[in-house]
Amino acid sequence: MRPMRWRRSETRESRSSRAVETPGDVVAEEETAMQNRPLAALTSKSGLGALFLFACAAVTYLEVAKLHLGTPSAMGPGYFPAILGGFFIVFGLILLVEGWRKPQERVEVGQIAPVLYLLGAIVLFGLLYPIAGGVVAIAVLIVVAAIAEPGRTWRELAALTGVVLVAVWVVFVIALDLQLDALPRWLR
């Protein structure tokens, strides 16, 4: 009895070289692209920029709602921020239309992660400063922000933290004569 020989299946190249693109295939691809276009527009650089500007406008208008607008001849404290919020919306719409009209490369999660680390570092600094003091808050800020750029060693982080702490002390405490809380509340 002879052993069975399996025939080799076709490779992708041999199938694709024989495949002929029909007009129906092109139309189907265009329809799929049109259905995915809103998502592609929002996940492109322009789309994410537009979403950021819309978020800035929302925060601006939430804060402006607490202020008196005034008139063009007698501007109140909320007048200029309201105009700035309008510019955020206009430029956000321009970016959104640009992302819609000219399909761009989507932004991958790997590209967003460093930005999220930086934003998280800033939020942690704001939360830790009143409780733990400036030294701890700045050290945490630097370590979390450094995670955004892989490849740093602990020695580099320690040196960077020391340099930044000295620079903050020289600039803000000595040069500008600001009173910063360097230590936690329970040590003051």
Tell me the pTM.
0.48
70 strand-pairing partners: 75
Nearest to 19 by CA among 28, 31, 11: 11
In this prediction, the residues of the chain whose per-residue pLDDT falls under 70 are 1-42, 104, 107-110, 188
pLDDT (0 to 100) of residue 97? 86
pLDDT (0 to 100) of residue 100? 79
What does the alpha-carbon distance between residue 107 and residue 117 come to, in Å, rounded to a whole number?
Answer: 16
